[in-house]
Amino acid sequence: MKILVTGAAGFIGSHLCEKLLENDKYQVIGVDHFIGPTSFPLKNKNLKNLRNHPRFTFQQRDLYITDLNRLLADVDVVFHLAGIPGVRSSWGYDFEPYVQNNILVTQRFLEALKTTSVKKFVYASTSSIYGQKNGKVTEDMLPEPLSPYGVTKLAGEHLCRLYEKSFQIPIVILRFFTVYGPRQRSDMAFHIFIKQLLNDNPITVFGDGTQTRDFTYVEDCVNGIISVMDHDQAIGKTFNIGGLERASVNEVISLLEHLTGKKATIQYKPEVHGEPKHTYADISLAQKIIGYHPIVSLKDGLKKEIEYIREIIKEG
């Protein structure tokens, strides 16, 4: 089976490729344009375990100008993770690359899929499409994104639905809830907090720290993504991919202090536009249809991310 992973040098994408290659029946094509907040050296580091694998092929490409029909030739499954991430940086003049990479590239893929025999097109979306909700969110709740980033990912979802209905494209939509772990993007909170703490710098918190998130360890997330392949009943559906437990930002910092043995100096700053106060995933549909069951605790997941951050600090 031939599998295409876009965003293969990214945080989730690189873990996904490694996990797929554990199955001898899979050939994996990884594509990445090396854009976004993660630096070139770190993206190269993400690919370290993949580049010499006999069943992995990597292509550095801009999907906006790539011949997608040729790229999709003989591909059975597409995991479309590529795009520009980040809530805070999606405002103002920085919005244009979000439109190009999150909306237009997705539309180009869907157009190309009309003439292929791809069995599943899995679109990576985000909890940011929900906006501010109270309690657990289910997949059928009204999307009300609070940021331009969330708007672009929701637009991608709408395009998937449109092409599914009009051209029977076999789509699956996955909404990720605050994924963390080794290789987490350098602009994400855990990465920043751990690096600040290990370097004995003050930790910057936007808001009062009582905001809560449904944190999803990357290994759990990847297992959820891959499980879609074995369940044809997932086609046409949208799933929340959430974690084992929720916590507030203040609780996370306290846990990081315990795990590192360092005392944090916290600088609280005004909250930023575009971020909900709370996120809370109802994952019952994913549990029922694709057998998704997160197992990694926040404490164990943070231990692994701390080890990763220590390593990259040591390497400079």
> What is the residue range of 10's domain?
2-177+217-242+280-294
Q: Which two tokens stand for residue 237?
A: 């559906």
pTM of the model: 0.96
Give the model's pLDDT for residue 146: 95
Q: Is residue 86 part of a domain?
A: yes
From first to last of the 316 residues of the chain, give the pLDDT tens digit. 999 999 999 999 999 999 999 999 999 999 999 998 888 999 999 999 999 999 999 999 999 999 999 999 999 999 999 999 989 889 998 899 999 999 999 999 999 999 999 999 999 999 999 999 999 999 999 999 999 999 999 999 999 999 999 999 999 999 999 999 999 999 999 999 999 999 999 999 999 999 999 999 999 999 999 999 999 999 999 999 999 999 999 999 999 999 999 999 999 999 888 889 999 999 999 999 999 999 999 999 999 999 999 999 998 7
The total of structural domains in the chain comes to 1
Q: Are strands 212-217 and 245-248 parallel, antiparallel or unpaired?
A: antiparallel
Strand 266-269 with 238-241, pairing: unpaired
In a domain, 305, yes or no: no
DSSP-assigned beta bridge partners for residue 176: 126, 241
Inter-helix orientation angle 189-198/298-315, to 10° = 60
Q: Count the Cβ atoms, other than its own, within 10 Å of residue 209.
A: 16
Answer yes or no: is 309 within a domain: no
Flag whether 164 is in a domain: yes
Instruction: Give residue 119's pLDDT.
Output: 97
d(CA 309, CA 194): 7
Cα–Cα separations (whole angstroms), residue 210 to 87, 129, 220, 248, 252: 19, 21, 25, 5, 10
The catalytic residues are: 149
Pull the structure tokens for residue 105.
């590239």
3 state SS for 206-232: ECCCCCEEEEEEHHHHHHHHHHHHHCH
In a domain, 44, yes or no: yes
> What pLDDT, on a 0 to 100 scale, did the predictor assign at position 306?
98
Residue 189 lies in a domain: no
Q: Which amino acid is at 180?
A: Y
Residue 234 lies in a domain: yes
Would you call 262 helix, strand, or coil by DSSP? coil
- With residue 241 as reference, give the H or E element that holds it: strand 238-241
pLDDT reported for residue 93:
87
Q: Is 242 helix (H, G, I), strand (E, B) or coil?
A: coil
Domain contains 302: no
pLDDT at residue 63, rounded to an integer: 97
224: region left, alpha or beta (phi > 0 left; psi from -120 to 50 alpha): alpha
Assign residue 227 the CATH number of its domain: 3.40.50.720
Could you give the CA distance from residue 110 to residue 309 in angstroms, rounded to a whole number? 37
Residue 38: per-residue pLDDT: 87
